Amino acid sequence: MSYRLKPFVLFIFIGILFISFPWSNTQRTVKAFSDQVIQQGAEGDDVIELQARLQYLGFYNGKIDGVFGWGTYWALRNFQYEFGLDVDGLAGAGTKQKLVKASQYDKQFVKEQIRKGNDFNYYGGMDNNQQTSENEDDQDTASSSTTASVNVPQGYSQNDITLMANAVHGEARGEPYVGKVAVAAVILNRVESSTFPNTISGVIFEPRAFTAVSDGQIWLTPDESARKAALDAINGWDPTGNALYYFNPETATSSWIWSRPQIKKIGKHIFCK
């Protein structure tokens, strides 16, 4: 009895495999976009699809990088205008439906190109393989990120953020998160101030300005929270209330620093004007 059942069960099992596999595949290619309304500043797979489809139709000439920037914004608005939709720069349900109808999206090709870091285009009516040039130094193709660009605050580069994260980590590791944002905010307040250098690197490397720089601790690898703190400060958060100096009352050696008007204490540091 049990012997006879086994092949039967196996048969059903294989059958399910055969049925479910192609089905889930077609599902993936037919169902485009997720439900979200895509707006400027977004990043991720939906943005990649949006850019690819807009490029397929010839509206978008920029890089397909998965970050919804100004270029994508204008392309989307032009598309909405040409197709008689509300011109609002938002990819909502109606817009996405029109896009899917009008264009094709070879997800595998596009994702592959991004993963390899290739320079490529995705215009409709052209052979895909003619629109890509292989990245020469692609020994290391296992990049973890799915987008080829990242959002950065206006006027800053990722490197500026890294440099700040280094300084924040060296100066304020072990402090609560807000204490890290505070140190980053002081660096930026100094850049703004007319009595300090005008660049982030100028402020950080000003001789004897930060102990972590003088003793080399700035070159410790910053953790994720230092990086987030730097980004928060750049985006406008200043928990110090516009401070230009801070010191640790337990280790401060200069009596001058005590004469500065104090604003508040965060963690171990006292922040002052």
Partner 1 sequence: MVRWILIAALTLGFIGTAFWGYKEHQDKNAVLIQAENTYQRSFHNLTYHIDLLHDKIGTALAMNSKDKLSPQMVEIWRLTSEALSDVGQLPLSLLPFNKTEEFLANIGEFTYRTAVRDLDKEPLSDKEIETLENLYDQSEEIKDELRQVQHTVLDDNLRWMDVQLALATQDEPADNTIIDGFKTVENTVDEFTESDVQSFSTTVDTKEHAYQHLSGDKIDKQQALADSQDIFQVDHSEQIDIAQSGKGADVPIYSMSYQGDDKNAHMDMTVQGGHPITLLVDRPINEQKISLHKGAEKAKAYLEKFGFNDMSLFASSQYDNVGVYSFLYQQGDTRVHSDAVEVKVALDNGDILGFTARNYFMNHKERDIPKADLSSEEAKEEVNDSVDIQEEYQAVIDNDFGEEVLVYEFIGTMGGDTYRIFINAMDGSEEKVEKLNDSETDYASMT
- Of 21-80, binders to partner 1 (CB under 8 A) are 36-44, 61-62, 65, 67, 69-71, 74, 77
Taking a C-beta distance cutoff of 8 angstroms, is the pair 169, 223 a contact? yes
Nearest residue to 87 (alpha-carbon basis) of 76, 98, 97, 96: 76
Q: Footprint of partner 1 on residues 80-119 (CB under 8 A)?
A: 90, 117
- Note whether 253 and 224 are within 8 A (CB): no
Which tokens go with 56?
A: 């397929």
Measured CA to CA in angstroms, residue 178 lies from 25, 164, 242 at distances of 47, 15, 14
Among 20, 97, 104, 159, binds partner 1 (CB under 8 A): 159
Among 145, 176, 171, 160, which residue's Cα sits nearest to residue 230? 160
133 binds partner 1 per the rule CB under 8 A: no
Is residue 183 part of the contact set for partner 1 (CB under 8 A)? Answer: no
Choose between 53 and 180: whose C-beta lies nearer to partner 1. Answer: 180
Among 94, 124, 153, 249, binds partner 1 (CB under 8 A): 153
Please report how close the Cβ of residue 138 comes to partner 1 at its closest, in angstroms.
Answer: 10
**How far is Cα 88 from Cα 78, in angstroms, rounded to an integer?**
10
Q: How far apart are CA 38 and CA 254, in angstroms?
A: 53
- The residue within the footprint of partner 1, chosen from 11, 242, 249, 258 (CB under 8 A), is 242
Which position among 52, 213, 226, 230 is part of the footprint of partner 1 (CB under 8 A)?
Answer: 213
Q: Compute the CA torsion angle 115, 158, 155, 212 (nearest 10 deg).
A: 180
Shortest CB 197 distance to partner 1, Å: 8
Task: Return the residue of 31, 215, 250, 251 that touches partner 1, per CB under 8 A.
Answer: 215
Q: Smallest distance from the beta carbon of 9 to partner 1, in angstroms?
A: 36
- 260 belongs to the binding site for partner 1 (CB under 8 A): yes
Q: Of 85, 230, 125, whose CA–CA distance to 172 is shortest?
A: 230
Query: How many residues bind to partner 1 according to rule CB under 8 A?
Result: 79
What is the CA angle 256-262-265, rounded to 5? Answer: 115
Q: Please report whether residue 147 would count as binding partner 1 according to CB under 8 A.
A: yes
Contact flag: residue 132 with partner 1 (CB under 8 A): no
174 contributes a contact to partner 1 by CB under 8 A: no
Q: Which one among 143, 193, 249, 258 touches partner 1, defined by CB under 8 A? A: 143
